[in-house]
Amino acid sequence: MMKSEGYILVIALWIAIVLFIFLTTLTTRIFIQRRQVDLSYHQERALALAESGVDVALACLNEKNLQGSSTVISGSIEEMGNFSVQISSPLSDTITVLSTGYSKKEDKVMAEREVKVTVQSQELNLFNYGVFAYGGSIILDDSFIDSYDSRLGSYEDQAINKDEVSGYTYARSNASVGTTSTDPDAVLLDPNSVIFGDVSLGLEAEFPQPVPPINFDYSGTAEGFLSISGSEVYQLNEPGTYRYDVISISGNGVLEINASVTIYVAGDVRVNDLDITGNGEIRIAPGCTVNFYVGGNLKVAGNGIVNLSSDPSALAIYGTEETTDIQLQGNAAFCGLVYAPQANVTIKGSTPVLYGAVVANSIDIGPHGRIHYDEAIKDKTDFLPPWASIYRIVRWEEE
């Protein structure tokens, strides 16, 4: 009997040992697997943080607000961790971005990952569309949009086609109209309005913010409030860059531009803003190129802005992120380009006419408005400002 009990005890002991080994092995495996899962989780979080750093770096580069030979940017995401980004040569065309993400748990770094990307600056043509609304609507009231090609001569020489339905005489049918909105009502035409060209909704267009030339050497400028009234003629005869706080023109006053210039107005530009039939004007001599940066709002009525070169790319109005309202209500036809992604642009008057292109948040045209898109702008890049580009990733490495 004692011998049998001894065997049972030995067997029970061996079973207990086997169970202990099994349970220990199982617990160890569960612990290791849990650590592996936890490590994998934190590694994925660290990679996501590093990718967020790349996104922040791209945004900073495309906003053109980085300077120097190299830049370090830090950031964090609550309850995840933080990232550190090093940007080499942020003012060059090809840039290396090294972003490191740190996944944390209770302020302890659990994992880190690196993402190294190469980005290159790629030029954008801001005016591939005759009219483009960046988020807002396009409204035509008893108006039409068509196109012409200034390389083939004047618009009037090309306007030989007759639309039998509307009765409009137009030039060409390549006036593309686009908007980022997917709303079918984003482009509103009354029964008397026509677009001679394609209309595209829901476009994923990239429009950089205009960068005013704040750091330019403003040679030859009279800074401050430029007021031209009565029969005064104020001339800009020397090429260069000019800065003013506000420009106001009324009466028979004329701002005569006889050279290729860049003008930055920190505040508003007002031409006949109290008199829609006024004779005040901005007059641009043939062969001159003018870039207007507006830090405030712009209202042009009366004789308005007269571009004597008849080349729309010779006059560009750029509205900065503070520009919310641009009104073109002049008697004279406007020949130029308007680029103001944050602004609401209205083109009004007795028979308002624009030769060129418009990019804005929203555009309201008419009644009796005419927008003639110059197709030659698509193939021109020499007039575009340096900020008319965007950085895109061309190489991606993860570590």
pLDDT at 220: 47
Largest separation between any pair of C-alpha atoms in the chain: 132
pLDDT at 78: 81
pLDDT at 77: 86
* Buried-exposed string 104-128: b where 16+ CB fall within 10 A, e elsewhere: beeeeebbbbbbbbebebeebebbe
Structure tokens at 251: 């009466």
> Using CA atoms, how far apart are residues 226 and 85, in angstroms rounded to an integer?
44
pLDDT at 80: 87
Sequence-distant (≥ 6) Cβ neighbours of residue 28 within 8 angstroms = none
> Using CA atoms, how far apart are residues 282 and 255, in angstroms rounded to an integer?
5
pLDDT at 195: 96
> Using CA atoms, how far apart are residues 181 and 136, in angstroms rounded to an integer?
7
pLDDT at 286: 95
> Using CA atoms, how far apart are residues 310 and 335, in angstroms rounded to an integer?
6
> Using CA atoms, how far apart are residues 319 and 304, in angstroms rounded to an integer?
17
pLDDT at 25: 67
Question: Alpha carbon 100 to chain centroid distance?
Answer: 28
CA angle 252, 257, 258 (to 5 degrees): 125
pLDDT at 275: 64
When pLDDT is cut at 50, 70 and 90, the band that residue 184 belongs to is confident
> Using CA atoms, how far apart are residues 395 and 212, in angstroms rounded to an integer?
31
Mean pLDDT computed over 223-247: 89
pLDDT at 214: 60
Q: Flag whether pLDDT at 375 surpasses 50.
A: yes
pLDDT in tens, 324-354: 999 998 777 899 999 999 999 999 877 889 9
Mean of the per-residue pLDDT values for the chain? 86
Question: Alpha carbon 192 to chain centroid distance?
Answer: 32
CB atoms within 10 A of CB 289: 19
pLDDT at 383: 82
> Using CA atoms, how far apart are residues 244 and 213, in angstroms rounded to an integer?
12
CA-CA distances (angstroms) from residue 330 to 155, 304, 351?
A: 19, 5, 9
Nearest CA to 300 among 279, 322, 321? 279
When pLDDT is cut at 50, 70 and 90, the band that residue 386 belongs to is confident
pLDDT at 17: 72
Return the higher-pLDDT residue of 34 and 130.
130
pLDDT in tens, 19-66: 766 667 666 676 666 666 677 888 888 899 999 999 998 888 887 767
Whether the Cβ atoms of residue 241 and residue 217 lie closer than 8 Å to each other: yes
- Lookup result for tokens 């007021």: 227
pLDDT at 224: 79
Return the higher-pLDDT residue of 390 and 130.
130
Q: Flag whether pLDDT at 146 surpasses 90.
A: yes
Q: Where are the alpha helices (DSSP H) in 331-387?
A: none
When pLDDT is cut at 50, 70 and 90, the band that residue 159 belongs to is very high
> Using CA atoms, how far apart are residues 114 and 333, in angstroms rounded to an integer?
56
Which of helix, strand or coil describes residue 317?
Answer: strand
pLDDT at 156: 94
pLDDT at 225: 85
CA-CA distances (angstroms) from residue 255 to 151, 231, 251, 352?
A: 29, 11, 12, 22
Q: Flag whether pLDDT at 205 surpasses 80.
A: no
Q: Flag whether pLDDT at 371 surpasses 90.
A: yes
> Using CA atoms, how far apart are residues 287 and 41, in angstroms rounded to an integer?
63
> Using CA atoms, how far apart are residues 381 and 298, in angstroms rounded to an integer?
25
Whether the Cβ atoms of residue 221 and residue 246 lie closer than 8 Å to each other: no
Bond before 367 cis per omega within 30 degrees: yes
Mean pLDDT computed over 307-335: 90
Whether the Cβ atoms of residue 254 and residue 233 lie closer than 8 Å to each other: yes
Percent of the chain whose pLDDT exceeds 90: 50
Q: Flag whether pLDDT at 290 surpasses 90.
A: yes
Mean pLDDT computed over 277-298: 91
